[in-house]
Structure 1
Amino acid sequence: MLIKSLSGIARFGFLRSREGNFSKMCHRTFSLDLSRAQSVSSMSYNNTGTMLAARWHYPSYDIRVEDVPVPQIEDPDDAVVKVTLAGLCGSDLHIYRGQQPITKVHITGHEFIGEVVKLGSNYGPNAARSTSGRPNLYATLSVGDKVVAPFTVNCGECHVCRLGYTGRCPVGALFGSPKLDGGQAQFVRVPKAGGTLYNLSSPASWSSALTATSDVETLLKNISDSSLLLLSDILPTGVFAATQLLAHPKVQPMLTGRSWPSSLNPSSPAIDLGSGLLTQEDRLLTIAMIGLGPVGVCAAVALLDALVQKGLPYRIVAIDINQSRREKMEKVYEAIGSDGKGQNGEFVVQGLEEAKETVTKWTGDIGCTGVLEVVGNNSALTAAYDLARPFGVITSVGVHAPKNVPFTGQDLYNKNISFDFGRCPARAMFPMAFELLVKRQDVFGKVGSESSLIDRVVDIRQASEMYRAFDQGQVGKVLFDPWDQL
């Protein structure tokens, strides 16, 4: 399918097909039908050929789809992947807008799913025996395997990776950056692929809580590529944001029903502060979420699921200045089954000023237990600080420009605010994200509906147009098909 222009964008940014039958377009274009898979598979890798790729050009707002040489194996640990779908992510916009100190032309995109078409010499049973102690994929990964990549390269062998902090591997790199070409192309080179990729063709090669109770191979066959692609970045990042918040020591009094610091060690005697045990009102979690783009929606779904699993009462205010994003969040919340939001919470979607009034009403001007910041700018951080209570927690997964944060040390001291900033270790979060993906196919399994996270799949030749529309808030989550034909 080729979407030729942005004319016809409806209320939520959905496009009608050229025949005017949106439902037929969705079925034809977005389902994993056999004919499409065969068409993609027939386009073999030729290491002397060229491919289509979206590339960023200096200084800003300049994406061009160009013919470039296909990637080569440069290191024995490399793999080359034929990309079946690639995602457009909010963090791609930071380079697009020229907000990073970058001048090098490069292939964009850090979200992709595809098929292995070439492996370096360090793969296979014999190679693995000579390099014992390495990730198991060096022994098992094969040409033809279906894989999804986290948005960063990680070796899987160093101290940092072994701790689970894979997003900061010392030899890692970010796909779609000057250091490493990205996946918005027909092929992509994956360094350290044995420590980076997840092999969807071999669920036995990775662990999940579902493996003990479910037929994961059958589950995978029933999940579309457009849904599985979310595992490369935005769904793990959403799960990471929710996990960071709920695991923070300052949130434990609400989770355990014990005052701080005895909440850190539930087996120890409770500390008597002279006012008895925590009341139900004390344990009511009040959380603000700032930013309702695709990552924010994933974080909201993950947070709701975690709160339901813990059986805790909650009040959540989801905030965005963009009305269409607020409307999307409302539709997503309506679509979530009761198993994903429970019966013991309140969830509202509002603009910033209204949200401040709501938090004041809910808490008597005390503030939120925690704030998830999923935007990545100083205005959002300032709002997060204003909304947080004393001893509050702010978890920020937005990608920030190289500017000073809008606080002084005195500001933070005066409210005992704790911050968690930074990049999601996506590969480490994969099992948790996969479990949520399976549970919430009511949100993550559809394309193009009011309540689906993904708005559309388009021909990669429309990359420049889609970047512009995404930057202006006219579209939501967009996926590129590198093999669609004019």
Structure 2
Amino acid sequence: MSSTTLPPSGEQKAIRWYPPSYDIRVETIPIPKIQHPDDAIVKVTFAALCGSDLHIYRGHGGVNKDHTCGHEFIGEVAALGHSYGGDNTGRPSLYSSLKIGDKVVSPFTVNCGECHACRLGYTGRCPEGFLFGSPALEGGQAQYVRVPKAGGTLFNLSDPSTWSSNLSSEGKEKALATLSDSSLLMLADILPTGVFAALQAINHPKVAPIITGKPWPLCFSQNAPSSNQVGLTDEDRILTVAVIGLGPVGICATVSMLDLLSTRQIPYKFVAVDPLESRREKVTAVYKTIDAAGKGNGEFAACSTDEAKDKVKEWTGDVGCTAVLEVVGNTSALTLAYDLVRAFGVIVSVGVHGEPPLPLTGRQVYNKNVSFDFGRCPARAMFPPAFDLLVKRQDVFGGIGQPASLVDQVVDFSQAAEIYRAFDKGEVGKVIFDPWQAQA
């Protein structure tokens, strides 16, 4: 199949960043073209502003080249390279089935879908991968975006048979008929990342004694031999968890963790931490909105940094949290995570960390037997469970501008510079850009 003809003007509007920092401009640039047979051109319906964008915005990303911003976008296929159509046996199914006009959402990184890393599900570290919205690959805060390796990268929302779900085929199709594009856009990054953080924590070996009710290391044996050890008490079986950072990803991690706790019927004590009162109010509204079945049996508190330390000390007798999810990506957040975690606890960090050294000494990590799990979410691999949670939690992910809504507003490109500024200052939460909305 040859590539189609793009709109005749050959130009588009895009949000672009200029070094060294804080310089956002809306410019007219060429519409991207097919450069490789595996490429697709996507006409962007919505693009979002993510907390990770702020690292480059602030000049902390080590980037010195102007580029189109954004790594969260949803849209429809406008052009395809020659690789698409016909028999592509042995390649990802979209090379055979993807068509012009199909509705697609993209994870925030390119994934070939064919290498060892992708086959194992570690799609965020595909050797062919690039991050959208970087000097290496123009971003999605534009009217059109080029997607390399699109057959291994995109999810085809027009053909749900091409991806898995715990929902039935009929359930998937029914959900897709009702979910808004502003909601589906969350599947590009923040919701998979939140689900990833929660799954990494709850499935970590350090959490196994609480999940299984068996002490270490008997918790790893289904047929554990009898032991003369004293059995775990009800208090021992309570999972104490903290989420540090209550921006959009922190909200997603909180909702995901609550869902896992309720589904697995694990009693818990949950502290959500952020220095900004507005974000603490948001997560409190989210918690109150979720029905009893979605948040299970536990206690929940939204706290400032100092309040969190006191609350964890009160709840655990100064033992500490079993698991801490750090979604900020700076050294102070990691220091707090270490302060809150218990000995033999786990810290899961999905925040984007820069060049500064980690703020912990070898003696500190040794003295607590603490485990760390760092790094980028494999967003494409996490799409199925993220989709299922999106469907289940439309009370949080479905609306716009309500107290418990993840998305605060949808704006046109003319407001880009101000929205970046406000988001950087914590004055606004999740914002979506509509590339086609009339400029104010």
One fold, TM greater than 0.5? Answer: yes
Residues 368-393 of structure 1, C-alpha deviation per residue, up to 9 Å, x if partnerless?
10100010000000000011100010
1:110 aligns with 2:71: yes
Separation (CA, whole Å) in 2 of partners of 1:257 and 1:230 = 35
Other-structure match for 1:252: 208
CA-based RMSD: 1.1
Alpha carbons of structure 1 residues 47 and 429: separation in structure 2 relative to 1, 3 Å: farther
Other-structure match for 1:364: 317
The residue correspondences of 1:443-458 to structure 2 (distance < 5 A) are 443-458=396-411
Other-structure match for 1:185: 142
Question: Secondary structure in 2 aligned to 1:423?
Answer: coil
Other-structure match for 1:397: 350
Other-structure match for 2:38: 77
Other-structure match for 1:101: 62
Letter in 2 for 1:381: L
1:50 aligns with 2:11: yes
Deviation of residue 47 (structure 1)? 6.5
Separation (CA, whole Å) in 2 of partners of 1:47 and 1:292 = 44
Contact 1:447 1:454 in 2 (8 A): yes
Letter in 2 for 1:345: G
Residues 224-249 of structure 1, C-alpha deviation per residue, up to 9 Å, x if partnerless?
00000000000000000000000100
TM-score, scaled to structure 2: 0.97
Separation (CA, whole Å) in 1 of partners of 2:220 and 2:130 = 36
Percentage of identical aligned residues: 63
1:425 aligns with 2:378: yes
Question: Secondary structure in 1 aligned to 2:428?
Answer: coil
Separation (CA, whole Å) in 1 of partners of 2:216 and 2:419 = 49
Letter in 1 for 2:204: H
Aligned counterpart in structure 2 of residue 286 of structure 1, from 237, 240, 261: 240
Deviation of residue 265 (structure 1)? 2.0
Separation (CA, whole Å) in 1 of partners of 2:193 and 2:132 = 16
Letter in 1 for 2:371: S
Other-structure match for 1:60: 21
Separation (CA, whole Å) in 2 of partners of 1:156 and 1:251 = 31
1:307 aligns with 2:268: no
Aligned counterpart in structure 2 of residue 440 of structure 1, from 380, 390, 393: 393
Other-structure match for 1:125: 86
Letter in 1 for 2:423: F
Separation (CA, whole Å) in 2 of partners of 1:67 and 1:211 = 44
Contact 1:167 1:426 in 2 (8 A): yes
Separation (CA, whole Å) in 1 of partners of 2:80 and 2:396 = 35
Question: Secondary structure in 2 aligned to 1:55?
Answer: strand
Letter in 2 for 1:56: W
Separation (CA, whole Å) in 2 of partners of 1:234 and 1:389 = 27
Separation (CA, whole Å) in 2 of partners of 1:402 and 1:424 = 19
Other-structure match for 2:181: 225
Letter in 2 for 1:387: L
Deviation of residue 94 (structure 1)? 0.2
Aligned counterpart in structure 1 of residue 224 of structure 2, from 268, 274, 278: 268
Other-structure match for 1:136: 93
Question: Secondary structure in 1 aligned to 2:132?
Answer: coil
Separation (CA, whole Å) in 2 of partners of 1:346 and 1:45 = 54
Residues 248-306 of structure 1, C-alpha deviation per residue, up to 9 Å, x if partnerless?
00100000000011111223325x2x442211111110111100000000000000000
Letter in 2 for 1:203: P
Aligned counterpart in structure 1 of residue 156 of structure 2, from 196, 199, 213: 199
Separation (CA, whole Å) in 1 of partners of 2:178 and 2:9 = 36
Aligned length: 435
Alpha carbons of structure 1 residues 47 and 422: separation in structure 2 relative to 1, 3 Å: farther
Unmatched tracts of structure 2, length 5 or more: none
**Runs of 4+ that moved beyond 4 A:** none
Aligned counterpart in structure 2 of residue 354 of structure 1, from 307, 310, 313: 307
Separation (CA, whole Å) in 2 of partners of 1:197 and 1:149 = 5
Separation (CA, whole Å) in 2 of partners of 1:109 and 1:211 = 33
